[in-house]
Amino acid sequence: MALYEKGVKALQRKNYNAAAATFQQLLAEYPEERELHERAQLYLNVCERQAQPQEKAPRTVDARKLAATVALNRREVDKALSLLKSAASSHSGDDHLQYMLALAHALRADAAASATHLKRAIELNPDNRVQARQEQDFDAVRDDEAILALLAKE
């Protein structure tokens, strides 16, 4: 029990490495204590999860765009959308953000939202029309009337 309490105290102090070592020692030295093992294993899982470096949320618009690009490349569309929406809330005039939002919504096959953002991206920078015509990630919504109209205009 003393070893278990030592591990719990270390965990409460957020000293996850010491707590994990203590719980591992408890598991190794007292294999017959089934109930203690279950609790120790639960706390050990918490320690391992907390000891891993936490991903910090990007703060700048450029950092959010980069993180969103990485997320889109990994097909983590929800994460990308979250990053892009937070960046676009204060930078709605950024054509690249609007284009990326259009692309992310296209990957979700949400043609209406994709068209809204693509329209804004093209208004801000007409070169986005040419880029969107060639972008394979728009394939899921390419047959939508609004998207077709946006891509057809000169």
Instruction: Let me know whether 85 and 146 are in one domain.
Output: yes
Structure-block tokens of residue 133: 């015509």
The alpha helices in the chain, defined as continuous H runs, are 2-12, 16-29, 34-51, 61-73, 77-88, 95-107, 111-124, 127-134, 145-152
pLDDT of residue 110: 97
For the cut 90, the answer to whether the pLDDT of residue 122 exceeds it is: yes
Domain ranges, residue 86: 61-152
> How many domains, the chain?
2
Instruction: Let me know whether 28 and 77 are in one domain.
Output: no
Instruction: Let me know whether 114 and 43 are in one domain.
Output: no
Structure-block tokens of residue 31: 């294999």
Instruction: Let me know whether 91 and 40 are in one domain.
Output: no
Instruction: Let me know whether 36 and 17 are in one domain.
Output: yes
Instruction: Let me know whether 73 and 21 are in one domain.
Output: no
Q: Does a structural domain hold residue 56? A: no
pLDDT of residue 50: 81
Q: What is the CATH number of the domain that holds 105?
A: 1.25.40.10
Instruction: Let me know whether 29 and 95 are in one domain.
Output: no
pLDDT of residue 34: 84
Instruction: Report the alpha-carbon angle 98-58-53, nearest 5.
Output: 145
pLDDT, tens only, 130-154: 999 999 999 999 999 999 999 997 6
pLDDT of residue 35: 83
Q: Does a structural domain hold residue 35? A: yes
Distance of CA 144 to the CA centre of its chain: 28
30 or 125, greater pLDDT: 125
pLDDT, tens only, 59-104: 888 888 999 999 999 999 999 999 999 888 888 899 999 999 999 9
pLDDT, tens only, 15-64: 988 999 999 998 899 888 888 888 888 998 888 888 776 567 778 888 88
Instruction: Let me know whether 91 and 133 are in one domain.
Output: yes
pLDDT of residue 90: 86
Instruction: Let me know whether 98 and 136 are in one domain.
Output: yes
pLDDT of residue 33: 84
Instruction: Let me know whether 28 and 72 are in one domain.
Output: no
